[in-house]
Amino acid sequence: MITKPKGCHDIYGIEAKKWQYVNKLIDSLMEKYDYTFIRTPIFESSEVFHRGMGDTTDVVTKETYDFVDRGDRNMTLRPEGTAGIVRSYIENKMYGNMPNPVKLYYNGTMYRYERPQSGRDRELTQFGVELLGSDDPLSDAEVISIPVNLYKMLGLKEIKVKINSLGDTESRNNYRDVLKKYFEPHLSDLCEDCQERFMKNPLRILDCKVDKDNPILKNAPKTLDYLNEESKLRFEKVKEYLQALEVDYEVDPKLVRGLDYYNHTVFEIEAHVEGFGSNNVLGAGGRYNGLVELLDGPVTPAVGFACGIGRLMMALDLENIDLPVKNDVEVFVMAVSDTEKNYAATLVQSLRMSGFRVEMDYTNRGLKGQFKQADNLKAKYLVILNDEDLAKNELKVKNNKTKEELTLGLDYLLYYLDEVLLEDEPYDENYEKECSCDGECHHDHNCQKHHEEGEE
């Protein structure tokens, strides 16, 4: 039997519906923040990620899926979203033909070759945003607020933001020199990777997963002690704006993040989730003012974040958060004879195009089997066709919960179903379904406009 690759997952059934619900909520939230969706290629020139993320990062040195294509070009499956979006920003000259700042969001698959474990896969889905063209500390706070609000809307509790500042280029270089002097006498007490990082980028030592409990790392100099005045003032403004947005945070001077392109603000967002253990980070990001220029674009300040959707879904499951997904059908149409099935096909098509969730039998079951199938699908109402009723332009409708049954004229079915299903279905404030009814809605049970107007 052929099986899926290690570190990958099939997402289907009720789990897929939960993913779709979260994705719709993300789209709705991004519309409110005025971010535009962007889709970049799943694979890019290796240079995009190797230059953009930094050759000293674990992602580039150990985890990227690199390959040579048939044109003898070096390609890489995207391991994260930012570098590819910056490439697109430059190539498509967004800095000149879109409103400034350019606000983009993505939601797609990434690929990292690492040992699969709980919450860490080789194929993962990430949602993230990039705000390019603003150096205002308020833009840092806005970007941080997005995942915080998303997690709250989904019902997660005890959300905590950890923030730090790496400072500008001058501050970061000063701190780098201090770290080198500090770590040099202790190199033999660090792991092999950290000994290599010492020569290329000593800040990466602070992000080491092997030596994270080593007293040498715990006692290392802190970034905040080496910020210049401008960087200190900027960090204070970020904290002020977070308070204005009612985002709870704590300063973590050891936070550096794992990618080379960060400067100034860096952050991680945690939620207290039973079963996550010590690694309860759901999202992270920071400012990367030099990345656009590094990839041959104009000098452009930028900030962004990313969160793993798979890890988010795991958190929701562990917290037993019941997402309001639709796991039923509203109408099940039952037919047995050829004439009944011919009419059923037309009726099902009409009901679906009118906005109802509708199903019928496609395996030639008898009525008994169709009743069982309707129960398995959690059908709310049954439309039962028979040749005698159809000859009189009638059909039977049965409430599958109360078992109440009545006979209706064919022309009245749409109005009846719209009335009874609207009474059955509570409005979900997190899901606003677009409606093209222009004020004459007879079917869209989640039409925001008609809930506000009290449409019956």
- Please give, one letter per residue, the 3-state secondary structure of the chain: CCCCCCCCCCCCHHHHHHHHHHHHHHHHHHHHHCCEECCCCCEEEHHHHHHHHCCCCHHHHHHCCEEECCCCCEEEECCCCHHHHHHHHHHCCHHHHCCCCEEEEEEEEEECCCCCECCECCEEEEEEEEEECCCCHHHHHHHHHHHHHHHHHCCCCCEEEEEEECCCHHHHHHHHHHHHHHHHHHHHHCCHHHHHHHHHCHHHHHHCCCCCCCHHHHCCCCHHHHCCHHHHHHHHHHHHHHHHCCCCEEECCCCCCCCCCCEEEEEEEEECCCCCCCCCEEEEEEECCCHHHHCCCCCCCEEEEEEEHHHHHHHHHHCCCCCCCCCCCCEEEECCCHHHHHHHHHHHHHHHHCCCCEEECCCCCCHHHHHHHHHHCCCCEEEECCHHHHHCCEEEEEECCCCCEEEEEHHHHHHHHHHHHHHHCCCCCCCCECCCCCCCCCCCCCEHHHHHHCCC
State whether 312 and 352 are in the same domain. Answer: no
State whether 240 and 367 are in the same domain. Answer: no
State whether 306 and 363 are in the same domain. Answer: no
User: Average pLDDT in the 344-371 region?
Assistant: 96
State whether 123 and 237 are in the same domain. Answer: yes
* Domain boundary residue, one of 318, 346, 378: 318
State whether 279 and 161 are in the same domain. Answer: yes
* Domain boundary residue, one of 297, 318, 339: 318
State whether 127 and 250 are in the same domain. Answer: yes
Q: Are 300 and 293 in contact (CB under 8 A)?
A: yes
- Position 455 scores a pLDDT of 40
HSE (side-chain half, CA atoms, 13 Å) at 325: 17
Query: Shortest CA distance to 67 belongs to which of 92, 100, 44?
Result: 44
Q: Beta strand pairing status for 102-111 and 36-37?
A: parallel
- Position 444 scores a pLDDT of 43
State whether 258 and 336 are in the same domain. Answer: no
Of 164-173, 195-204, 299-308, 438-447, which range is least confident? Answer: 438-447
pTM of structure = 0.84
State whether 233 and 379 are in the same domain. Answer: no
Q: How many C-beta neighbours within 10 Å does residue 34 have?
A: 8
Between 371 and 429, name the one with better pLDDT. Answer: 371
The CATH number linked to 234 is: 3.30.930.10
Domain membership flag for residue 174: no
Q: Beta strand pairing status for 123-132 and 102-111?
A: antiparallel
Domain membership flag for residue 441: no
State whether 240 and 336 are in the same domain. Answer: no
Q: Are 187 and 284 in contact (CB under 8 A)?
A: no
Q: Which domain holds residue 392?
A: 331-425
Domain membership flag for residue 210: no
pLDDT band at 280, cuts 50/70/90? confident
Give per-residue pLDDT as tens, 307-357: 999 999 999 999 999 999 988 999 999 999 999 999 999 999 999 999 999
Name the packing angle between helices 413-424 and 338-353 (round to 10°): 60
State whether 109 and 66 are in the same domain. Answer: yes
Name the packing angle between helices 46-53 and 82-91 (round to 10°): 110
Domain membership flag for residue 240: yes
Rounded CA separation 244/26 (Å): 23
Q: Are 58 and 139 in contact (CB under 8 A)?
A: no
Match 């949602």 to its residue by tokens: 127
Question: Which two structure tokens, joined as six digits, stand for 117?
Answer: 């474990």
Q: How many residues does the chain have?
A: 456
Mean confidence (pLDDT) of the chain? 87
Domain membership flag for residue 433: no
Question: Which two structure tokens, joined as six digits, stand for 341?
Answer: 């099935």
Rounded CA separation 155/166 (Å): 32
* Domain boundary residue, one of 318, 343, 362: 318
The CATH number linked to 359 is: 3.40.50.800
- Position 141 scores a pLDDT of 97
Domain membership flag for residue 219: no
State whether 352 and 285 are in the same domain. Answer: no
Give per-residue pLDDT as tens, 200-257: 778 777 777 777 778 888 788 888 999 999 999 999 999 999 999 999 999 998 888 7
Question: Which two structure tokens, joined as six digits, stand for 209?
Answer: 């997963």
Residues above pLDDT 90, as percent of the chain: 66
**pLDDT at position 446 over 60:** no
Give per-residue pLDDT as tens, 23-35: 999 999 999 999 9
Whether the ω angle into residue 101 lies within 30 degrees of 0, i.e. cis, is yes
Name the packing angle between helices 192-200 and 169-183 (round to 10°): 140
Domain membership flag for residue 298: yes
**pLDDT at position 441 over 50:** no
User: Average pLDDT in the 417-432 region?
Assistant: 66
- Position 426 scores a pLDDT of 52
Domain membership flag for residue 116: yes
Contacts of 211 (CB under 8 A, 6+ apart): 190, 191, 194, 205, 217
Give per-residue pLDDT as tens, 64-113: 899 999 999 999 999 999 999 999 999 999 999 999 999 999 999 999 98
State whether 351 and 295 are in the same domain. Answer: no
User: Average pLDDT in the 272-282 region?
Assistant: 78
Query: Shortest CA distance to 25 belongs to which of 140, 138, 156?
Result: 156
| Structural domain total, the chain | 2
